[in-house]
Amino acid sequence: MEKICIRNEEKELRTYINIPPSATHLLIICHGFRGSKENGGRVFDFTSRLGYAGFGVLAFDFSGSGESSGDFADVTLSRQAEDLKLVLNYVKENISLPAVLLGRSFGGTTVLAGGTGEDIVKGFILWSTPVFLHSTFSQIMPKEYKKLKAGVRVKLRDEGGSFELNPYLVEDFDSHNIAEYIGNIGDRPVLIIHGGKDEIVSVKNAYYMAEKIPLCTLKIFPNADHKFIYCYREREDYTIEWLKKKFEALWE
């Protein structure tokens, strides 16, 4: 995959891109909260298999994540939606391919907030995506969530190390109308994949979206956790087959 930088006056988004000569669409991958464009190295094999299915891939780090500029502590849904719009503008100006958006977890929420109003986007894939944001984050970090709600900066630790969050992460949730974003999807196809044993994002988020999206395929993997640790390959396989089916005219 080629490494590029998508930038404007305020930010630099480090990006991997791979567009085989046979590509008919570009899959843009949005990583999850505390994630990165590499997805633990899995993006490279996934990209190779998508290339055989006729898809180019663009995977980028949101501001403050991975190799991109910015401070992760300043993360908000609004900032990530702006990042995605910057990427989509780059695609419009430099790549003559229609896009499909894939979001993992909070990256899926970002797909809804930043991508559903864009005509260049022809389909959406939402992996383990939260739409009930206050509920989700209050369960993930109950003590810290209360502090954030009170306007206090917090410090946390996960497998990636220690990190901090500013209170406007939570404040910003209320500036987004998820139901409106879902309504903007219209008749474009959507794939929702969720784990039945997701310990981070309740499966009720997936059912809520599926009820409201006309052309929705909902796939629940009963034994999968949030990260699909033991069945990520099956999730990828299902996603690739869905792409082939929904865009089958491209392979006729």
CATH number at residue 41: 3.40.50.1820
pLDDT at 250: 42
Instruction: Extract the tokens encoding 158.
Output: 């996960």
Cross-strand pairs, 194: 220
What is the domain count for the chain?
1
Residue 139 domain flag: no
pLDDT at 132: 98
Residue 199 domain flag: yes
Residue 148's SS3 state is helix
- Cα separation, 110 vs 173, in Å, equals 11
Residue 183 domain flag: yes
Residue 10 domain flag: yes
Q: With a cut of 70, which residues of the chain have pLDDT below it?
A: 248-252
Quote the pTM value: 0.96
pLDDT at 251: 41
Residue 98 domain flag: yes
Contact 122, 188 (CB under 8 A): yes
Cross-strand pairs, 121: 99
Residues 6+ apart with CB under 8 A from 130: 105, 106, 108, 109, 136, 201, 205
Q: How many CB atoms lie within 10 A of CB 95?
A: 16
Instruction: Extract the tokens encoding 250.
Output: 């491209």
Domain span at residue 205? Answer: 2-131+178-251
pLDDT at 96: 86
